[in-house]
């Protein structure tokens, strides 16, 4: 292939609307492809030319992080006023403020950039794959390496990796709600559509970001990245993730502080001007107050908490794909999980064959069961690849050793699907007449047979009551047939039942109890019979709130199912679509819903949940759909992840409560003193230095211990609670500030430099040490010990606060030496302050409004942008430049290019 031909092919973009109207062979010809796909060399050249199939970039961008540090209007104003101060001759104060701002920005940058690097590392560990044909062979490639002309195979539960023109389909239905808003799945067919059809009517195409709800297909990629319909929407949202409930709470909290800061700074500025103080000095002081009341490092604390959380979770064998998934885990209060491997060991064993009549022997029944499997008989004994767990157990049984595949010839097969819940094969033995064999769920197979005798029904009920998993096998002569369809599954004769056992996990009961103590309601969604699921739950001590079968689910309206599902504990014999519907309605009724599954049939529900959870041993489709991957399929491991999410929220709230109590109190004190005194109680640079020292010490909060009772239920932002806390503990802080003012003025007759040094030391000591009271509702140290890191950081900050007014820098900073008795007086005030705060805390938290666990408020509905961005996160490359409407030439890293070309 010449470079000229490649360029000609790439210079003509094929819109998906045009591809939908062409015949499949015409689309392949236009894209320079074939039913066998591209060659690896062609794919590498197109990837180089058109760029990765991505709409996001996950490489940490230091410049972008640095730019965000200067996004605060207050910081910008401070920089401007510091520059004006320097211009007007106040160089010392300008330099001090400049150094403090530099250090503050540096701290914020360092911590946020580390969090970005942690996010980048997560993306590097989690890949999303697609099955393509290249060089005529099936290959597994990263979705970002797909290019126009690639022929891809897709199956149930897969997320469509690009805009694709269908070449062949098999019962294909797609959930396109993320693009069209239409809740019903769209039927798909390779036949060309009429010219001028709208996006929703392009039945011959499937679109990036949508999900296969049933069936499978083969298609050719037409558009990737930002040229795809979903890509255009995702790019329009920008790179930043939509705000979570946690982040929206931060925003509301910031707005509360902004209101307080604007009120205080405006009054202070006006009052100082009325007192005929210098304009620049008044402006700097007012802005310093605004900065002092605002927890500048809150974003850094949150980012550090999330980054720390990912490392902690990795050690606990929990892998999160995005940092915000940790928040989602902590927010979860309903968990819907499958049964196999979660509550049970997941090691299914075949226990025996139960013939339905004396004419059928155990060996014959087992042989019929082996015949009705989807795998090749000749390979089934050697490899379990492609087998479901029940078939794998059947082939591993001792009786399977006597099976001779050469005796049988398979003429046709109808694969298992979750609507029919059975597999049928057309076989003949040693050239004899054809025979139809059907194997599947007893309820569905028995419906195809004659009337069920009481003896057979009793046999089946006995196995269900014992908690066994049962598969029914039926057959009939099929002479003259060479092909079969679902319509041929009729007039069957029951041969018997194959019985399997999957024992409950030894630690499942303990894990369920642990989740219950965390306020998480666990529900079971299984394809098994209801009696089997109820037996397992009974053995594990689960109190059932009721059972709904798949038939019950279909019979209920959305409103009825939403109410019933909230109470029910077991959903039995449910299809993938029914699982997804249940998840959707549980989410709409309030609460955050997690779904845990590992099979192809779980993918739809994983996509619908607030937090999708899978395991490392799951199918690729399930892992691809999940937000969290457990390295062990254990509910105990999941409980660790939930606790980590809640620990992060609890530690963030500690910092918030610090900012609304001591910060508010100190700044209120400063505002009052600036009006009463004949001099400023603290210089602007000293206020900023005080705030910087204080914030630096609080960077240890993300690693702090959290009391167990704070993890018992999901916590949510409660601005009214924060406001009540602020208006109680802020004034207590101010009382001791005023006591310090009186001590300095009336006992020590302090001059301005001494006054400022004294209040600087008292302020930094009280607002830093108060963290030990605020961090817990218990008695600090005795009943709740802080982490060693927080203890060291806090004491270090207090030591630095005492040292600076006594150091050689004191003169530069505007401090004068203090008499020794002052330190004894301050020590006494600090002790009294801590005791008073402890009494106030006990009174405050004893009130009904502050009791734990807090009740989650309102039904939370995430906007469409959240789900679009969540879906878009899988289409992410280290560097991406995808601009709709024109070719781009971003280069992948050299290692990646070599891998694609290999």
**Nearest residue to 296 (alpha-carbon basis) of 801, 899, 21, 698:** 698
First to last CA, the chain: 18
| 567 half-sphere exposure, CB direction, 13 A CA radius | 6
Give the residues across from 471 on adjacent strands.
498
What tokens does 565 get? 């599902």
CA angle 192, 195, 200 (to 5 degrees): 75
Tokens of 131: 């099955």
Q: Which of 711, 850, 372, 453 is nearest to 380 (CA)?
A: 372
Q: What is the largest CA-CA distance in the chain?
A: 115
Please state, in angstroms and rounded to a whole number, the distance separating the CA atoms of residues 657 and 387: 55
Tokens of 737: 């500030």
Is residue 859 exposed (0-12), middle (13-18) or buried (19+ Cβ within 10 Å)?
exposed
CA torsion sign for 419, 425, 426, 432 is negative
Q: Is the Cβ–Cβ distance between 66 and 300 less than 8 Å? A: no
The catalytic residue among 142, 163, 331, 338 is: 338
Which residue bears the tokens 């999303």?
Answer: 128
* 190: Cα separation from own chain's centroid: 35
Distance CA(322)–CA(459), nearest Å, equals 50
DSSP conformation letters of 108-155: HHHHHHHHHHHHHHHHHH---EEEEEETTEEEEEEGGG--TT-EEEE-
* Sequence-ordered strand ranges (E) for 256-348: 318-320, 334-337
For helices 635-658 and 298-315, the axis angle rounded to 10 degrees is 160
Structure tokens at 758: 């004294």
Residue 767 contacts residue 663 (beta carbons within 8 Å): yes
With helix as H, strand as E and coil as C, how does 451-463 read? CCCHHHHHHHHHH
Contact of 515 with 333, CB cutoff 8 Å: no
Looking up tokens 């940790």 gives 326
Ramachandran quadrant class, 591 (left: phi over 0; alpha: psi -120 to 50; beta: rest) = left
Structure tokens given for 349: 């064993």
739-743 — which CB contacts under 8 Å span 24+ positions?
739/829, 740/826, 740/829, 741/669, 741/673, 741/681, 743/822, 743/825, 743/829
3-class DSSP assignment, residue 254: helix
Residue among 498, 501, 367 at smallest CA distance from 445: 498
Measure the CA angle with vertex 223, ends 219 and 224; round to 5°.
105
338 is catalytic: yes
The torsion angles phi and psi of 277, rounded to 5 degrees, stand at -90, 155
Strand 547-549 and strand 570-572: pairing? parallel
- Give the residue among 798, 662, 822, 675 at the shortest CA–CA distance from 742: 822
Return the ∠ at Cα 714 (arms to 119 and 843), rounded to 5°.
120
Q: Which helix or strand (DSSP H or E) is residue 613 part of?
A: strand 611-615
Give the whole-angstrom CA distance, residue 768 versus residue 678. Answer: 28
Alpha-carbon distances, residue 78 vs 70, 153, 264 (angstroms): 11, 58, 16
Could you list the active site residues?
338
């Amino acid at each position: 292939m010449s470079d000229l031909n490649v360029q000609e092919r790439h210079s003509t973009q094929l819109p998906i609307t045009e591809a939908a109207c062409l015949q499949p062979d015409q689309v392949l010809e236009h894209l320079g492809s074939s039913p066998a796909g591209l060659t690896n060399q062609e794919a590498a050249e197109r990837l180089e030319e058109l760029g990765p199939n991505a709409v996001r970039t996950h490489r940490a961008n230091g410049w972008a992080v640095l730019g965000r540090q200067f996004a605060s209007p207050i910081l910008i104003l401070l920089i401007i006023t510091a520059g004006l101060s320097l211009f007007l001759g106040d160089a010392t104060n300008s330099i001090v403020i400049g150094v403090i701002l530099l250090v503050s920005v540096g701290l914020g940058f360092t911590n946020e950039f580390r969090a970005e690097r942690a996010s980048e590392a997560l993306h590097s560990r989690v890949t999303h794959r697609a099955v393509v044909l290249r060089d005529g062979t099936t290959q597994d490639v990263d979705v970002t390496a797909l290019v126009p002309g690639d022929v891809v195979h897709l199956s149930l539960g897969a997320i469509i990796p690009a805009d694709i023109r269908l070449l062949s389909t098999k019962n294909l239905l797609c959930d396109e709600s993320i693009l069209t808003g239409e809740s019903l799945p769209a039927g798909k067919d390779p036949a060309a559509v009429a010219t001028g059809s709208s996006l929703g009517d392009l039945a011959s195409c499937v679109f990036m970001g949508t999900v296969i709800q049933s069936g499978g297909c083969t298609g050719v990629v037409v558009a990737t990245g930002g040229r795809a319909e979903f890509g255009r929407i995702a790019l329009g949202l920008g790179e930043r993730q939509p705000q979570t409930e946690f982040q929206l709470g931060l925003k509301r909290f910031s707005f509360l502080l902004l209101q307080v800061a604007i009120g205080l700074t405006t009054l202070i500025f006006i009052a100082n001007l009325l007192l005929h103080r210098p304009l620049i000095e008044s402006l700097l002081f007012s802005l310093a107050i605004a900065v002092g009341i605002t927890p500048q490092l809150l974003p850094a604390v949150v980012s550090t908490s999330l980054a720390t959380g990912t490392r902690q979770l990795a050690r606990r064998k929990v892998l999160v794909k995005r940092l915000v998934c940790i928040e989602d885990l902590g927010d979860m209060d309903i968990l819907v999980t499958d049964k196999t491997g979660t509550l049970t060991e997941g090691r299914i064993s075949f226990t025996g064959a139960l013939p339905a009549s004396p004419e059928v022997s155990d060996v014959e029944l087992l042989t019929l069961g082996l015949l009705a499997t989807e795998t090749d008989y000749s390979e089934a004994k050697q490899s379990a690849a492609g087998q479901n767990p029940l078939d794998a157990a059947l082939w591993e049984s001792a009786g399977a050793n006597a099976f001779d595949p050469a005796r049988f010839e398979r003429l046709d097969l109808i694969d298992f699907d979750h609507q029919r819940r059975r597999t049928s094969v057309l076989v003949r033995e040693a050239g004899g007449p054809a025979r139809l064999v059907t194997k599947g769920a007893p309820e569905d197979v028995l419906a195809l047979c004659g009337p069920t005798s009481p003896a057979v029904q009793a046999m089946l009920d006995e196995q269900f009551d014992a908690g066994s998993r049962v598969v029914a096998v039926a057959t009939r002569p099929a002479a003259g047939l060479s092909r079969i369809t679902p319509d041929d599954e009729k007039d069957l004769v029951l041969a018997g039942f194959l019985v399997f056992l999957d024992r409950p996990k030894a630690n499942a009961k303990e894990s369920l109890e642990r989740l219950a103590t965390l306020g998480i309601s666990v529900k079971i969604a299984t394809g098994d019979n209801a009696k089997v699921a109820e037996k397992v739950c009974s053995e594990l001590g689960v109190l059932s709130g009721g059972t709904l079968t798949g038939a019950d689910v279909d019979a209920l309206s959305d409103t009825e199912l939403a109410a019933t599902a909230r109470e029910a504990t077991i959903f039995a014999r449910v299809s993938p679509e029914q699982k997804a519907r249940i998840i959707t309605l549980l989410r709409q009724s309030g609460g955050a819903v997690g779904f845990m599954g590992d099979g192809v049939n779980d993918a739809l529900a994983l996509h619908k949940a607030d937090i999708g959870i899978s395991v490392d041993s799951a199918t690729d489709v399930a892992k691809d759909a999940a937000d969290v991957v457990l390295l062990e399929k254990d509910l105990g491991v999941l409980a660790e992840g939930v606790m980590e999410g809640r620990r992060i929220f609890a530690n963030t709230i500690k910092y918030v409560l610090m900012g609304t109590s001591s910060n508010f109190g100190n700044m209120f004190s400063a505002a009052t003193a600036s009006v009463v005194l004949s001099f400023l109680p603290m210089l602007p640079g000293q206020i900023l230095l005080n705030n910087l020292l204080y914030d630096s010490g609080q960077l240890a909060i993300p690693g702090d211990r959290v009391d167990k009772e704070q993890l018992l239920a999901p916590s949510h932002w409660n601005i009214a609670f924060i406001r009540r806390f602020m208006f109680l503990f802020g004034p207590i802080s101010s009382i001791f500030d005023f006591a310090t003012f009186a001590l300095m003025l009336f006992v020590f007759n302090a001059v301005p430099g001494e006054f400022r040094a004294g209040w600087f030391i008292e302020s930094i000591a009280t607002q830093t040490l108060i963290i030990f009271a605020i961090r817990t509702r218990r008695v600090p140290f005795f009943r709740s010990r802080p982490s060693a890191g927080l203890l060291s950081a806090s004491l270090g900050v207090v030591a630095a606060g005492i040292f600076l007014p006594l150091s050689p820098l004191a003169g530069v900073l505007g401090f004068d030496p203090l008499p020794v008795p002052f330190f004894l007086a301050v020590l006494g005030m600090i002790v009294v302050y801590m005791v008073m705060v402890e009494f106030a805390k006990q009174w405050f938290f004893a009130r009904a409004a502050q009791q734990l666990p807090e009740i989650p408020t309102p039904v939370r509905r995430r906007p469409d942008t959240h789900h679009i961005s969540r879906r878009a996160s899988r289409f992410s490359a280290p560097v991406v430049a995808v601009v709709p409407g024109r070719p781009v030439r971003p280069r992948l890293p050299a290692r990646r290019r070599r891998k694609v070309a290999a």
